[in-house]
Structure 1
Amino acid sequence: MDTFFLRLFFGILKLLPLSGVNLEQVHMIASTKLTMDRRRKPATWKRSQQKEPSNAMLYAMFLYALMGLFMGFMIFAVPDFMLAMIILHTYLLFMLIMILITDFSNVLLDTSDSQIILPKPVTSRTLLVARTLHIVVYLGQLILAIMICPVIATFFKYGGAVGFSLLLTTLLTAAIGIFITYILYGLVLRYTSEQRVKDIIGYFQVFMTVFFAVAYQVIPRLINLSETVFSFELHWYSYLLPPVWMAGLLDSVKTVTIDGARISMIVFAIGFPLLAGFVIAKYLAPYFSRFMSAPAEGGTLIQTKSARNRKAHLSEKLAGILCRSCYENASFAQVWKITGRDKNFKMQFYPSLAYIPVFIFIIFFRNFKDVDQKLADLPNGNMFLWLLYLGMFAVTLSLTLISYYENYTASWVYQTAPVNKPGELINGAIKALLVKFFIPIYLVMSTLTLVIWDYKTLDDVLLVGFNSILIFYISALMSTHYLPFSQQPNAKQQSGRFLMVLLRMFLIGILVALHWLALKISWLVIALVPLAFAGCWWLHQRVQQLPWRKIVM
């Protein structure tokens, strides 16, 4: 697909009067970059759960086309034309900005061209044209995948005139999306360093992963199709929204009607993207290139390292308090720091944390009907058990994730260090995960429980805390014993993760059921607290004594 687009746009490029540009070098550089795109997996994919594809770009386009298929159904389902087109162009604009920020950031922020290509006999003008061609081809594939199904649906339902006009508004919306992306990057680069920009993009990727995970569960429960009114009314703020401009242009074509409101929409729809393109070519792109070519300032790097050192100080203090040996201490600090820096870990683990409020919503409310009555009835039941155990449902996933790391080859240090009991390293990792992720969630849930169900649940809160730690250690003992961040992330090694998740859910379900039965005897819950504590201590010692023959390297 990229070869077709490259030939198409390169043929157009030959017709342009470009002085000082070596077209042969442009084609070579652009084709090389597109080859790299095929091998680069999108940032929003969970790398540890999928095999490495031979053409990642083709897989990504298939997924985007599949999402576009639902938008095609939406065009048939929504009777109001303006509303359908507003939703479609909002979806297009959102997807473009999201993908440009997450998956294309390594291209926009790539400074290696200036260090690798420019020292060769390649002019800066040639490199600029090659980068532009690469971006255009990339966007061409992206837009085709996103919009092919909605465009076909529009042709079928509204005819050729509206269909061809939708192609025009798609290009205009793409120009606005690129403009907004450049503005966002420019603002961030203006006030921070390049490395900080990459960190912000990493957090944005995590946010988008969490957003889709939560929206998948919540939004369908909020929609009541029987009460939904499919209509759109024009307000003064509608003139500020690009999707409304595009819908107004298409509505003019469909109804063959011109009035003051539609003329304004057409002017905005065509004029603003043209102005945005001029600003990008004249000011933003050159500024962006100059900024990315400039060397990083040392002060920013020093400041970043200093901030990281201050953050690390907390983990070292906690390790000194909670860990008994130097190896356990080192593993605690290592897991604490890497889980705070590794983007892949965050993208796989944080969505599980985001599911906590989703599960609270599903378990306690199901929908937004009669929320006040349901809140009033909460203190009369024992639903606080689910609230207290939810934290462990989410946090146990981290136990599997810390075994896998992209820089797993550094794990040779484990075998060279004089460690007699590798169980100390696993114990340090478990303590880091419990302190960093479980305890904050547990404290929040315990506070909510004590506020809603009163102090009479204090013994239940204590028992849940020790039971949760018990589950964590049982999971650690029953799973394959890997040292932290020592395994290559691939699907084959992690094929048993789903089974372990089911097993952990089964264990938690048993404990919740036993705890619920214990509530029927007033003194039994507080009597089980020291027993659960003793179990935690015994399992802690079991993990501590794990020998090398039990460790998989």
Structure 2
Amino acid sequence: MTTLILWLLDRIQPLFRALGADYGQLRAIVQVKLMMDNRRNIVSLGRYGKPSAENNNSFMRILLIYTIVGGVISLGMLAIPPQKSLFLPLTLQFSYIMALCAMTLISDFSSVILDSSDNQIILPRPVGNRTLWLARVVHITSYLFGIALSLSVGGILIVGYRFGPLAGLMFLALSLLSAVLMVFLTNLFYLVLMRFINEEKLREVINYFQILMAVLFYGGYQLLPRLISSQGSISRIIDHQWWHYLIPPMWMAATVDLFIKPVLDVHHLVFAILALLMPVAGLWFMNRFLTTDFTQKLSGIDSESRPEATTSSAQQPQSGQASWLEQLSTWVTTEPLERAAFAFTWRVTGRDRKFKLKTYPQLGFGLAYVVAMSFQGGSLGSSGFFYLFALYFAGLYVMVAQYQLGISDNYKASWIYGSAPIQAPGDVLVGALKALILKLLLPFYVILASYILYRYGLDKISDVLLAFSNSLVMLISSALLSTRYMPFSVAPDALKQNNTARGLLTSLILAVIGFSHYGLTFIPYGVWVATPLSMGIFFLLLQHYKKTAWSAIEMG
């Protein structure tokens, strides 16, 4: 893959020279970055797998999955006979391409574009701002092109087969331009943010924005198609409206539609101009106006090279936060070691950006899926027991947080567990689990329950309480069935991925509990009676979890 990317760069090197970059330096930087990608863990492009050369195979497997998914979505264009109706499926196809490219940028932006680990080598050298910025853009765009191409293979073949090779080539070109446009829009926000925000808060703001955008992209892609519930809604979308000019996927769809019909009117002409010029104009705008002090800002956000800022910021919240956190830990814990583990987990989960980025979007996905399914009529969303399905299905997302609880990039600091006089490691595990329940599970269920009660009525309060109690049982059961690690003691790529049997068993138990709950709804006061029994089972399992000995702990 590295050889292919460098070969393509050599073919378009006049473009980089025209943009003001030193092509020799740019090619060398990109080559080294691609080489290093093969030696380390890559975030959303397979970086959570094994190192070395196996990463390339992992990335190729991901592209294969994207190819299959994109092909399934493209089947909608094969099933629609009239050419004039292809505008909507084309829009959905390009929306999926752009959404997935944007998700990749959101998850990888901090570690790729804002990666400052090479500052000590590059900045002292005579490397221009535009050369460094373009090298970073080329680096991430090379991956996005692979993703966009894999997602559009099915569409290229179908469009090319039905409407000729010219339409297929146009589909391919617009798919790649969609990736470029996502690079522009995401870079625009982050580069503008770098110019106006304090460097100490930049990474924190970016982290929360990544979480928010991940939820919005997923929720929007799930919710908007389900809101199109009538033929009139579909016809209004197909008929060109003024707001279509604000939707980039519609630019691309109308441009392909221009070659399929073919037709040339004002709407298609404007769409084609936007689709072909906006990505190029966006890159020119960033290259011309937003990269002047890019390297200076980049060096300023390197938190590792500024220990004094980290120390001062870490000491600020101690005065106000310690009092209420210590009080809360006193209420919910019984042992000093358990209390210390509770406070430790609470603070780390609030400071570790990668933990939040891997965990919080999953909870948002669960809420978005529930809302989207509840708007889907004539199926599960309109059934009488959907609210039970939502309560239990969304609980699966909380188990992701329990899985992430043992992972940390600073896992080498876990030597403290072995050197400290800890006689009962179960106290540490229980304290960490209680912090997870109060900080993530409880607020998550409060939001979910509020929506369920608003949409299905206040009489469902008993079902909400029983589902929450059963979710606690499932969470502690998952902890008991899983390999037990001390909190934040394992490297991200060290956990074994052979948890299929445990996952199937957990899902089976969840299904049994969910259907049992559904059966209790037909028994008078059955749900109210089952709730304290479920809480009793949870506390019994928690006490069993607390008795975990060192022999049952696997150290990373």
Residue 106 of structure 1: aligned partner = 111
Separation in structure 2 between the aligned mates of residue 470 and residue 163 of structure 1, nearest angstrom: 53
- Out of 56, 69, 72, the position equivalent to 2:71 is 69
The more displaced of 128-137 and 325-334 is 128-137
The letter of the residue matching 1:109 is L
Partner of 1:118: 123
Partner of 1:182: 187
Q: Give the counterpart letter for 1:330 in structure 2.
A: A
Secondary structure of 1:419's aligned partner: coil
Deviation of the 1:311 alpha carbon? 5.4
2:228–2:234 contact (8 Å) kept in structure 1: no
Equivalent of residue 321 in structure 1, options 328, 331, 350: 331
Partner of 2:553: 551
**CA drift at 1:423:** 1.7
2:409 equivalent to 1:422: no
Q: Distance in 2 between matches of 1:17 and 1:358?
A: 47
Q: Which residue of 2 aligns with 1:292?
A: 298
Q: Return the alpha-carbon distance in structure 2 between the equivalents of residues 101 and 206 of structure 1.
A: 8
| 8 Å CA contact 1:393, 1:505 repeated in 2 | no
Once the two structures are overlaid, the 10-residue window that deviates more, 77-86 or 440-449, is 440-449
Q: What is the CA–CA distance in structure 2 between the aligned matches of 1:234 and 1:243, rounded to whole Å?
A: 13
Q: In 2 relative to 1, CA 288–513 (structure 1 residues): closer, same or farther, beyond 3 Å?
A: same
How far 1:506 moved relative to its partner?
A: 1.8
Query: Could you say which residue in structure 1 is the equivalent of 2:166?
Result: 161
1:37 aligns with 2:40: no
After TM superposition, the structure 1 = structure 2 runs for residues 150-549 of structure 1, keeping only pairs within 5 Å, are: 150-170=155-175, 172-194=177-199, 196-203=201-208, 205-206=210-211, 232-255=238-261, 257-294=263-300, 305=314, 309=318, 314-340=324-350, 341-344=352-355, 347=358, 350-351=361-362, 354-355=365-366, 358=369, 367-369=376-378, 394-441=397-444, 469=472, 472-473=475-476, 475-490=478-493, 493-496=496-499, 498-499=501-502, 502-503=505-506, 505-506=508-509, 509-510=512-513, 513=516, 520=523, 529=532, 539-549=541-551
Counting aligned pairs with the same residue, the percent is: 28
Cα offset, 1:414, TM superposition: 0.7
**Partner Cα distance (2:16, 2:468) in 1:** 70
8 Å CA contact 1:426–1:483 kept in 2: the answer is yes
8 Å contact from structure 1 (residues 27, 130) kept in 2:
yes
How many angstroms apart in 2 are the aligned matches of 1:288 and 1:395? 38
Letter in 2 for 1:54: N
Aligned to 1:54, what secondary structure does the other structure show? helix
**Which has the larger Rg?**
1
Counterpart contact for 1:43–1:205, Cα < 8 Å: no
Partner Cα separation in structure 1 for residue 302 and residue 75 of structure 2: 48
Whether the 8 Å CA contact 1:238–1:244 is kept in 2: the answer is yes
Matched to 1:401, the amino acid is Q
The more displaced of 436-445 and 151-160 is: 436-445
Distance 1:89 1:391, change over 3 A: closer
Describe the superposition over 1:111-152 as per-residue Cα deviations: whole angstroms up to 9, x where unpaired.
334321232465667655644654564555454334344333
Show the counterpart of 2:12: 12
Question: 1:326 Cα deviation (Å)?
Answer: 2.5
C-alpha change, 1:415 and 1:369, in structure 2 (3 Å) is same
Cα distance in 2, alignment partners of residues 383 and 124 from structure 1 = 55
Q: Which moved more, 1:181-190 or 1:467-476?
A: 467-476
Output the CA distance in 1 between the equivalents of 2:460 and 2:180: 61
Cα distance per residue 1:426-445 (max 9 Å; x no partner): 22122212322333355567
Higher relative contact order (CA 8 A, sep 6+): 1
Shift of 1:407: 3.0
CA distance in 2: counterparts of 1:110 and 1:472, whole angstroms = 36
The answer to whether the 8 A contact 2:16-2:23 is kept is: no
Shift of 1:416: 0.5
Q: Name the CA shift for 1:57/1:35 in 2 (closer, same or farther; >3 Å).
A: farther
Deviates more, 1:226-235 or 1:104-113: 226-235
Whether contact under 8 Å (1:405, 1:485) holds in the other structure is: yes
For the residues of structure 2 that align with 1:524 and 1:174, how far apart are their CA atoms?
51
Contact 1:332 1:428 in 2 (8 A): yes
Name the CA distance, whole Å, in 2 between partners of 1:545 and 1:343: 30
2:167 touches 2:260 (CA, 8 Å); kept in 1? yes
Preserved CA contact (<8 Å) 1:421 1:547: yes
What TM-score results when the alignment is normalised by the length of structure 2? 0.76
- Residue 217 of structure 1: how far off its partner (Å): 7.7
Partners of 1:474 and 1:17 in 2: how far apart?
A: 60
> For 2:35 and 2:509, how far apart are their aligned partners in 1?
46
- 1:285 partner SS: coil
| Displacement of 1:413 | 0.7
Question: What displacement does 1:31 show?
Answer: 0.9
TM-score by length of 1: 0.77
Structure 1 pair 337–158 and aligned structure 2 pair: CA distance change class (3 A)? same
Paired AA for residue 482 in structure 1: Y
Equivalent pairs counted in the alignment come to 542
One-letter amino acid of the counterpart of residue 362, structure 2: P
1:192–1:20 Cα change, 3 Å: closer
What is the rounded CA distance, in whole Å, between the counterparts of 1:402 and 1:315 in structure 2?
19
CA shift for structure 1 position 156: 1.9
1:130-145 equivalent positions in 2, closer than 5 A: 130-131=135-136, 134=139, 137-138=142-143, 140-145=145-150
The 8 Å contact of residues 86 and 244 in structure 1, kept in 2 or not, is answered as yes
Provide the C-alpha distance between the structure 1 equivalents of 2:110 and 2:175, rounded to a whole number of angstroms: 22
> Which is further off, 122-131 or 402-411?
122-131
Distance 1:400 1:77 in 2: 42
Supply the AA of the counterpart residue of 2:549.
P
What does the per-residue CA deviation read over 1:490-540, in whole Å, with 9 as the maximum and x for residues that have no partner? Answer: 5863523642562475278359738956985769965984x6666555555
Give the Cα–Cα distance (whole angstroms) in 2 for the partners of residues 73 and 101 of structure 1: 28
In structure 1, what residue type is equivalent to 2:327?
A: K
For structure 1, list consecutive stretches of 5 or more residues without a partner in the other structure: none
Q: 1:213 to 1:524 in 2, by over 3 A?
A: closer
Matched AA of 1:62: L
